[in-house]
Structure 1
Amino acid sequence: MAEVRSHFRPEFLNRLDEIIIFHRLDREALRRIVDVQLRRVAQRFAYRDLGLEVTDAAKDWLAERGFDPVYGARPLKRVLRKELEDKVALQILDGRFLDGDVVVVEPDGDGLRITTKGPSPAGADLTKG
């Protein structure tokens, strides 16, 4: 895809994206996409010496909210950024994570609950703050 992007303008690629018909994603495909995106998030967390543990229920929650019948799984990155990455970033800035912490993510109603286990107080609920 990087090769295609280097040869064509974004406007053209957006037009193709609107025209090309993709087969509807099934639940299994959505979960695989969530797993791929979460691996990328985990790699970024690793640079800060943080681990990432996401429950199956949280993965289902992300798959459900990151899917749109028209756009497929495209909204998933936005959901991950808003519901996980931004919240964790704020907690890092507040100094609530220590080196070696594991970020634990699970669904909590209409959002995700972010807790930690590791050097910081075990099981500390970092969702609020």
Structure 2
Amino acid sequence: DEIEKAHPDVFNMLLQIMEEGKLTDSFGRKIDFRNVVLIMTSNVGAEVIKNQATLGFRKTTEGQSYEAMKEQLMKVVEKHFRPEFLNRVDGVIVFKALTKQDLQHIIQIELDDLKERLSNYNITISLDDETLDFIIEKGFDPHFGARPLRRAIENHIEDPLAEELLRGRFVNGATIKVTVYQGKLMFEDVRSPEPALSGESGK
């Protein structure tokens, strides 16, 4: 992970592995790498991807945008890594920028664990599209990718919901719908007329 941060000695070791298919350790023992697939990730050129990642707006077609980004990214990669290293790499895969639909899908995956925990109390929860957009706005950063989404879900959904559960606002059998109201998330049991706002203090 993040191979660009590796020590020069690590690159020298990788050169031997990729060239000879084996590695000799400090005791002279040879380790066979002939049937090993090496996968290295890098954030080199993250700024290029960030500049291309404007959600919902494309000046060109998706294919053209990706090819242009890939071309720029490879130039950055060639400047950063030594030629003898790149010449031994069989392929470089450039991942496309995350779309709004991708981010919504990631949020739903992250929420699966919460839904499973709530199911133990016979409680269900659902989010509308506006709520998903709210989480994306609070948690997505083109530079860091989707990682901050996990924190946004905790801060705006899991923690406030846990407080409401502790206060007894939602009980066994509740059907919770999460919506956006005046810039905050609102938790409402569709069986009950009393909603709860995210961040609302107990009374």
Which segments of 5 or more consecutive residues in structure 2 lack a partner in the other structure?
6-40, 44-94
Q: Using a 3 Å threshold, how does the CA distance of structure 1 residues 63 and 17 change in structure 2: closer, same or farther?
A: farther
- Residue 186 of structure 2 corresponds to 113
| TM-align CA RMSD | 2.1
Deviation at 1:64, TM superposition (A): 2.2
Largest Rg, 1 or 2: 2
Residue 88 in structure 1 maps to residue 161 in structure 2: yes
Unaligned runs of 5+ residues in structure 1 are 1-12
TM value normalised by structure 2 = 0.50
Distance of 1:48 and 1:16 partners within structure 2? 44
Could you tell me how far apart the structure 1 residues matched to 2:136 and 2:118 are? 20
Q: 1:70 corresponds to which residue?
A: 143
Amino acid at match of 1:114: F
* Equivalent pairs, count: 113
Which consecutive aligned stretches of 4+ in structure 1 deviate over 4 angstroms post-superposition? 15-19
Q: How many angstroms does 1:82 deviate by? A: 0.8
- Higher relative contact order, structure no. (Cα contacts within 8 Å, ≥ 6 residues apart): 1
Q: Does 1:48 align with 2:118?
A: no
| AA at the equivalent of 1:124 | E
Is 1:20 the equivalent of 2:42? yes
TM-score by structure 1 length?
A: 0.76
SS at match of 1:75: helix
